[in-house]
Structure 1
Amino acid sequence: MVDWDGIERSEEFRELVKKRRSFVVPATIFFLAYYMAFIIVAGYAPDFMGESVYEGLTVGYCYALTQFVMVFVLGIWYLRKAEKEFDPLSDAVAAAGVADEETGRFERGEPRQEVAR
């Protein structure tokens, strides 16, 4: 039986969570800011968004299309980072959990009490 609480307290798991969070939080903030900026500019500067860039292609369409590109780039970036950093760390966490089941590195805390409903 795997001690999930022990794994959660382990250094390997904490490092994994820290590294993943250090990528996901800024990427999410960037994505939301980029998207909200589009909505704000569309609402407050419709003339600017309606300016033609090339034969009917407007600034607004270009901005909207760059959002698809941005999501694609962020997705690919996350996948590459996961492959290089997060997956090896998660493998280390899993290996530590299996190995520690045999060696007893993770000590079980107090058993959780079931709450009667």
Structure 2
Amino acid sequence: MEEEAGHERQARAYEAVHEASDFTELKRRYKNFVVPWTIAFMAWYLAYVACNNWARGFMSHRVVGHINVALIFGLLQFVSTFVIAAVYGRFANRKLDPLAAGLNAKYKRERRR
């Protein structure tokens, strides 16, 4: 019986958080960050793959010694991944975490009711 009451409180708390305007704002901010960056990264990645398949002359062009354009593009894939992760971390710390902390506090308050 006590376990059932706990589940009911948890469900009510989740519903209260889900209906909060801060939750909607959190989802909106997250989506507005993730969607454009995902599209940009996928376009960059697909350009790399397309160039490796259909622009072999360009990709095999030597820049310095045995380092060619393909190697530089490949390394830039890793660099861009880390840059996006760092930008997201900074964005989340400034724009998402304060809202999430408030929602978490609301959830804990609602569970105690």
| Band of TM-score, shorter chain | 0.7 to 0.9
From the two aligned structures, give the one with the greater helix fraction.
2
- Output the CA distance in 2 between the equivalents of 1:90 and 1:4: 13
Where do 4+ consecutive residues of structure 1 move more than 4 Å? none
5+ residue gaps, structure 1, are 105-117
Counterparts of 1:47 and 1:58, CA distance in 2: 10
Q: Which runs of 5+ in 2 are unaligned?
A: 1-8
User: Percent sequence identity over matched residues?
Assistant: 30
Q: State the number of aligned residues.
A: 103
CA deviation after TM superposition for structure 1 residue 100, in Å? 4.5
Aligned equivalents of 1:17, 1:90: Cα separation in 2: 10
1:9 shift after superposition: 1.7
For residue 29 of structure 2, the aligned residue among 16, 19, 22 is 19
Aligned to 2:55: 45
Match for residue 65 of structure 2?
55
> Is 1:7 matched up with 2:1?
no
TM-score if structure 2 supplies the norm length?
0.83
